[in-house]
Structure 1
């Protein structure tokens, strides 16, 4: 299985101000590499079929950064569509079947989360989310997002955090009337059907959502780096 990958790079980055006053959040550097390049590297290492990146805020900077690379851009300059609307808009570029999605504003250590999702995917699933135990979710603010049962199904309000990576069947998106909507809408429908699943990331994870989290992410990367 070689699904395509959608990287969500269209957000306004308001929590990262003033760093994002003139720079889109995916182009902020952590450990000498932009968040977007880290996300692209995960996709390429996992052997994805193709990569699509959406853009809105300072989209010209995203386009210039990706120039010359085999990456398609789903332009949301006219209207920021949120994750659900953005994924639906990008589907003609992504193709048919299940899609990987990745939020670039996190740092991962340990096993490649996209490769782990591909390995764990089953045909009876509509969504498979990569989750992180709340007590290992570096720089996370707030409680967990989901609970995970013995069969690997997710439900709301638990002690695991959505890590920002998943495989999802996008079929349900066609039935949502709004242009702008979150993937939470699709997840809730899938949870009700018992087809939303999750697995736990075996490595480290850091939410790079605020300026002070950059140092925490770099410390996590340094801890994971090989020492010779």
Structure 2
């Protein structure tokens, strides 16, 4: 069972436009609290976990925001490493066991996604378990889906399920990827070829906060409005 979580917070947030001119996207506020804090709430509510946040763009602000808290920061310098490279660089802080990873640019309404992943995790037949949301419950999503889940809970590309940014992942395969900067998609593709990339459907609602118009949508979701 995972005993650590990686929260991705290193990106430039270019889709946020002027909002990220002076701060990193994870520190943009939704309902009066930073996106990063909303994500950390999920980790803390799940139970004891080693918490690691990566940082690159305006990393010093991430460090200051987390000062005095039980969270380690993995600084990516001089270059940003993308999700796969960033996760691999943080492994000394995360340990060798499977880990949770969680994007910090989403808001959730429903069960704790980490609890659901932990309950469904089966390391004997899974190398990764990705939590996905049907397009109809993916508020603020622009574009189509990412995956479909078959009867054996294996994932294939296409379909109307959106990857939510939450997963459990075995990290051993990261050592076999020669690139320094790379997406976790490379590792997922290898797992899929071995029939060990699996998925779980989230029963609640999820809001993408990757663009400015996602902020009021997320705040409405948190307020319990039915018109989002």
- TM-score tier by shorter-chain length is over 0.9
Q: Which residue of 1 aligns with 2:41?
A: 41
Q: Which residue of 1 aligns with 2:84?
A: 84
Where in structure 1 are there 5+ consecutive unaligned residues?
none
Within a 5 Å distance, the mapping from 1:38-117 to structure 2 comes to 38-117=38-117
Q: Which residue of 2 aligns with 1:21?
A: 21
Mapped partners of 1:53, 1:25: distance in 2: 13
Q: Which residue of 2 aligns with 1:122?
A: 122
Report which stretch shifted further, 4-13 or 69-78.
69-78
Q: Deviations over 1:96-153 (max 9, x none)?
A: 1101000000000110001111111012210000100011110001110001101111
Q: Which residue of 1 aligns with 2:7?
A: 7
Q: Which residue of 2 aligns with 1:179?
A: 180
* Maintained 8 Å contact 1:2/1:47: no
Q: Deviations over 1:14-54 (max 9, x none)?
A: 00010000010000010111100011110011114200000
Q: Deviations over 1:36-90 (max 9, x none)?
A: 0011110011114200000000000000000000101100031100000000000
* Maintained 8 Å contact 1:133/1:200: yes
Q: Which residue of 2 aligns with 1:214?
A: 215
How many residue pairs match? The answer is 225
Mapped partners of 1:64, 1:97: distance in 2: 28
Where in structure 2 are there 5+ consecutive unaligned residues?
none
TM-score by length of structure 1 reads 0.96
Given the alignment of the two structures, is residue 165 of structure 1 paired with residue 163 of structure 2, yes or no? no
Tell me the SS of whatever aligns to 1:218: helix
Mapped partners of 1:148, 1:2: distance in 2: 23
RMSD over equivalenced CA pairs, Å: 1.1
**Cα shift at 1:2:** 4.4
Q: Which residue of 2 aligns with 1:147?
A: 148
Runs of 4+ in 1 over 4 A off after TM superposition: none
**Cα shift at 1:3:** 2.1
